[in-house]
Chains A and B, each alone.
Chain A
Amino acid sequence: MASEMTDTGGAAALPQGLSGFARDWTADRQTFHVPWGKAMMWIFLLSDTFIFSLFLTSYMNVRMSTRVPWPNPSEVFALSFGGDPIPLILIAIMTFILITSSGTMALAVNYGYRGDRAKTAALMFVTAAFGATFVGMQAFEWMKLIVDEGVRPWGNPMGAAQFGSTFFMITGFHGFHVSCGVIYLAVIALKVLRGDYEASGNYEVVEIAGLYWHFVDLVWVFIFAFFYLW
């Protein structure tokens, strides 16, 4: 922090507002005052946002263009624990787990910057475990749809074939992201634990992994809203 203070000592004299913004953007050497990896992750996430947006837009498009009625998500995604089926209960638990994992990830980033290796790694493993649980429950949900309800990518007994196609494709693509995230977090957590970042003292890498993780969670909120609530 000390070096930051000296280097930007003239900050008070620098232009503020729009001209300050323009100055930052056109400054030499770097446009954003972040490490390379973090800038690259943001740009990647922007690109990935387009992939998910286009998947969801395509889903809305086929849902509107098919002439066959769309299955009712409250019924399809209901789960019974002996009594009456409770609509959306499984997905509610899954969503809760994924959002909780964002919380543990944020804590991990915090402890990373404090240099507490043990707690950082532990919280990252917890995050990864939540992620793995999510993927496991998603596998259960897929199995229930495929085995019990006869939903296939090319058709289902409840209505439009595109229901199954889009569901498996988009949740599958998201589940793939979560699975990659679990591996990514586990690898970084192991490296943190091993002390790989002690030499530089730079734990940005935890935050960069966190960016990816929060993004995957955020995307889930949209998938949840468009698939289960519409």
Chain B
Amino acid sequence: MAYVAIADRDHHLHDPDTFITKYIWSQDHKVIAIQYAITAIFVGVVALVLSLLFRLQLGFPDTFNLVDPNQYYQYVTMHGMIMVIYLLTALFLGGFGNYLIPLMCGARDMVFPYMNMLSFWVYLLSVIVLLGSFFVPGGPTGAGWTLYPPQAISEGTPGIGGGIVLMLVSLAIFIVAFTMGGLNYVTTVLQARTRGMTLMRMPLAVWGIFVATILGLLAFPALLVAAVMMTLDRVVGTSFFMPEMLSLGRELDYGGGSPILFQHLFWFFGHPEVYIVALPAFGIVSDVLSVHARKNIFGYRMMVWAIVLIGALSFVVWAHHMYVSGMNPYFGFFFATTTLIIAVPTALKVYNWILTLWRGDIHLRVPMLFAIGFIFTFIHGGLTGLFLGNVTVDLPLSDTYFVVGHFHMVMGVSPVLVVFAAIYHWFPKITGRMFNETLGKVHFWLTLLGTYSIYLPMHYLGILGVPRRYYAYGDTDFIPASAQTLNSGITIAALIVAAVQIVFFVNVIWSLWRGPKADPNPWRATTLEWLTPDTPPKHGNWGPNLPEVHRWPYDYSVPGEKEDFIPQTEPPHAGVAAGRDHGVHH
């Protein structure tokens, strides 16, 4: 067909020649990816510092007095929103999605590079608007990261002046940025793969990012709609979410709105959002495990279908976040059922990761350590999710630290471990240099053990009934004194984990300048990004000719072969069992 040749056609990539077009207003997906990643990690560090400030308050309530109660809520709110959206979503999709999709699919760039560039700059604008809310009178919003009305915009909540409005505006801008990037990622995966790269020959990292982006394109609309309506409630005085109510003894002008509507909209976005972060992590970890265990991923097809199924199911479970808001018991039953059904494809993935390791030739290099660490934290976070998915168990636990522990285990620590695995794994390709292995291992062990000592005790605190969202506990009958000791311990662990991240930054920066030159394919991996003519890849990625793919991405340790890996571009030859290839044969 006339279109088939587009990928091969020497279409007009812009030709960057000055510093500005190369590194600032760049349309190269790799540069945009790095811009996304640096911005996301920067705001992530801001959110990390915020968490230390309120952790110091929680751990040592009368000692430091760094934050007052209003600031406590503001910092918790900003910490949550930044980590979930501005760090993890942006880093996985804008960062790794941008870098890996064209390289792993064998494309020269995203399909619309200019729009891709705009996506980053609009994202940066959303970050600036968000951080701007720290500097307006009243400070940032303290409504909690879920921004539930009516309290989010009512007297008494910190930041109801400029803070909440800037938060909502920033979210809307972020969604515009994400849509521009997301349309690019999906279209590139669907339409711009190289010859031989069928959907069933795509690495799982691309599958995870691809399905997550589709989820984003369908779920972010709910957040946009909610943000628009709440902005109107706050600024214009409409009553979408605001019921008739008394505030501080005074009847408000609002009336007739539905606060529950906001919760539905928020979680219709919010639950798929969990998988927008988790699916890329699933995909990346599958690839890292397979490469460093020198074994094909166990059950590739099932892994793909599990990603798709999890993505689809994630749209029909949202109300499990709202059990305590009250709902018809039949709805509770429905949402508990769908929630528990998601455990099936998820457990399938976990089993397949473990079976990939089973009798593998495991190389415990830094990316592999982080990937294995992820399996542990994800199993722990996932199992406590089964508790909370049941209505009767959720009700008493919902307002306690059990939820904080569960959530951070499954959606905080697990994806962040994968982020580190991915950074260490692709660092040689992105920078052309090797990182320091010892510093990487120190970083891994202290991070893994440290995060466990933060979040495991939180489950215990939750079962004791220690409520979350409290600035200080004071003297209460039902909380034993030992709980406060535990709280102090958690804070100390958090400080250590935060300090350990300095090791990571030192490693990255030192290796950028002084690291030994990296081999183009240091892990001896099969996928296309390791087969570029230049390391780091140049603009246009592939030199004059696009690579041609002949096999799936997991041909490791094939019996009878000299090498323990066969690159995807290797044509079939005598002695190679092609039976594992799920692609369409030519």
Tell me the nearest residue of chain A to B239, going by C-beta: A161
**How many residues of chain A get a CB closer than 8 Å to chain B's CBs?**
46
A43 touching B1, Cβ below 8 Å: no
Chain B CB within 8 A of A58 CB: yes
Kindly specify which of A3-11, A205-213, A215-223 makes contact with the partner chain: A3-11
Chain B CB within 8 A of A80 CB: no
Question: Number of contact residues on B: which range applies?
Answer: 35 or more
Number of residue pairs spanning A and B whose beta carbons lie under 8 angstroms apart: 149
B residues 1-45 in Cβ contact with A at 8 Å: 1-4, 6-7
Summarize A's interface: helix, strand, loop or mixed: helix
Question: B197 contacts which of A23, A28, A62, A165 (Cβ < 8 Å)?
Answer: A28
A36 touching B265, Cβ below 8 Å: no
Contact A47-B218, Cβ < 8 Å, known A4-B2, A26-B200, A32-B191 = yes
B3 touching A35, Cβ below 8 Å: yes
B218 touching A165, Cβ below 8 Å: no
Tell me the nearest residue of chain A to B264, going by C-beta: A61
B183 touching A40, Cβ below 8 Å: yes
Chain A CB within 8 A of B398 CB: no
Contact A30-B3, Cβ < 8 Å, known A40-B183, A67-B256, A153-B232 = yes
Distance A167 CA – B177 CA, assembled complex (angstroms): 27
B239 touching A30, Cβ below 8 Å: no
Chain A CB within 8 A of B451 CB: no
User: Quick one: CB contact mask for B251-280 with A, threshold 8 Å, 1 for yes?
Assistant: 001011110010011001000000000000
Distance A40 CA – B196 CA, assembled complex (angstroms): 22
Question: Which A residues touch B257, using CB under 8 A?
Answer: 62, 65-66, 162
Distance A8 CA – B236 CA, assembled complex (angstroms): 58
Q: Can you sample 27 A-B contacts with CB below 8 Å?
A: A3-B1, A7-B4, A25-B199, A27-B584, A28-B193, A28-B195, A29-B7, A29-B194, A29-B195, A34-B191, A35-B6, A39-B187, A39-B190, A40-B183, A50-B221, A54-B225, A55-B225, A58-B265, A61-B264, A65-B261, A153-B237, A154-B237, A161-B239, A161-B255, A162-B257, A165-B232, A169-B228
B residues with a Cβ closer than 8 A to A are 1-4, 6-7, 111-112, 179, 182-184, 186-187, 190-201, 217-218, 220-222, 224-225, 228-229, 232, 236-240, 253, 255-258, 261, 264-265, 268, 549, 583-584
A residues with a Cβ closer than 8 A to B are 3-4, 7-8, 23, 25-37, 39-40, 43-44, 46-48, 50-51, 54-55, 58, 61-62, 65-68, 153-154, 160-162, 164-166, 169, 173
Known: A4-B1, A29-B191, A29-B195. 7 other contacts (CB 8 A): A27-B584, A39-B191, A44-B183, A47-B218, A58-B225, A161-B255, A165-B232
Q: List the 5 closest A-B pairs by CB distance, nearest first.
A: A66-B256, A165-B238, A50-B221, A154-B237, A51-B221
